[in-house]
Amino acid sequence: MKLYHSCRKIAFVNLFVFISFFEVFADGTLDEKVKNLTLELRCMTCQNQSIYDSEADFSKDIKKIVRTKFEEGKSEKEIKLFLVERYGEYILFKPLLNYKNWFLWSFPFIFLMFGLFFIGLKIRKN
């Protein structure tokens, strides 16, 4: 019994940590917004490097575009879609959540559920 107690305590602390998780998504400054987005974009002329980290001409251009779009008041999603239209989905390091990629995004989650289910079953059996 004592153990369940301790587990509950640990769970509470975790909950606390996770709640604070959501506070992060408050609006950042323009620089931060540009940084966060360009970190998720691929420099198409480099090798597996993000636009943010790259000093290639292509990356410099995209950084400028992203900045102007943010200044125009566009949202992150709108800018991403704009870039995808122009350069293809290849530019996104984080694939869009569309019909093509649903398997990619759901798979880890489904597997985790499956694993939890299996563990629950085993515990109950014993």
Partner 1 sequence: MSSLVGFISLALAVIINIFLLISNFFIKYNNKIFNLIIKVSSILTIISFFSLMYAYIVSDFSNFNVFQNSHSEKPLIYKISGTWGNHEGSMLLWLSILSIYGFFFSRTENINIKFKQQTLLIQSFLHVLFGLFIVFTSNPFLVNSVIVKEGLGLNPILQDPGLAIHPPILYAGYVGYSIVFSLAIAGLFSDSDNKGWIFVTKRWALISWTFLTGGIALGSYWAYYELGWGGWWFWDPVENISLMPWIAGLALVHSLLMAKGEQIIKKWIIFLSILCFSLSVFGTFLVRSGILTSVHSFASDASRGLFILLIFFIITGFGFLVFLLKTPENSKPINFLFINKVSALVINNILMIIATLTILLGTIYPIIVEVLTNDRISVGGPYFNSTVIPIMIPGFLLMSIAPILSWQTNRIRNARLYVIGFIAISLLVLVQSYLSTFNTWGVLGLILGIWIITASFISIISSYKIDFNFKLLQKINPHIAHIGVGIAIIGITCSSVFKNEYDFNLNEGDTVQIEDTIVKLEKIEMTNEVNFQALRANFLIERNKKVVANIKAGKNYYPVSKMITTEAGIYHELYKDIYFIVGDQKDKNWFVKVYINPFVSFIWIGVLIMVVSGFIGVTRK
CB 31 within 8 A of CB 42: no
Cβ neighbours of residue 48 closer than 8 Å, sequence gap 6 or more = 42
Q: Which is nearer to partner 1, 65 or 92 (CB)?
A: 92
Q: Which residues bind partner 1 (CB under 8 A)?
A: 2-3, 6-7, 9-10, 13, 16-17, 20-21, 23-24, 39-40, 42, 47-50, 53, 55, 88-95, 100-101, 103-104, 107-108, 111-112, 115, 118-119, 122-123, 125-126
Rg of the chain, C-alpha, whole Å:
21
Q: Which is nearer to partner 1, 73 or 108 (CB)?
A: 108
Q: Which is nearer to partner 1, 29 or 47 (CB)?
A: 47
Shortest distance in whole angstroms from residue 69 CB to partner 1: 19
Give the single-character DSSP code of 27.
-
Terminal CA-to-CA distance of the chain, rounded, Å?
17
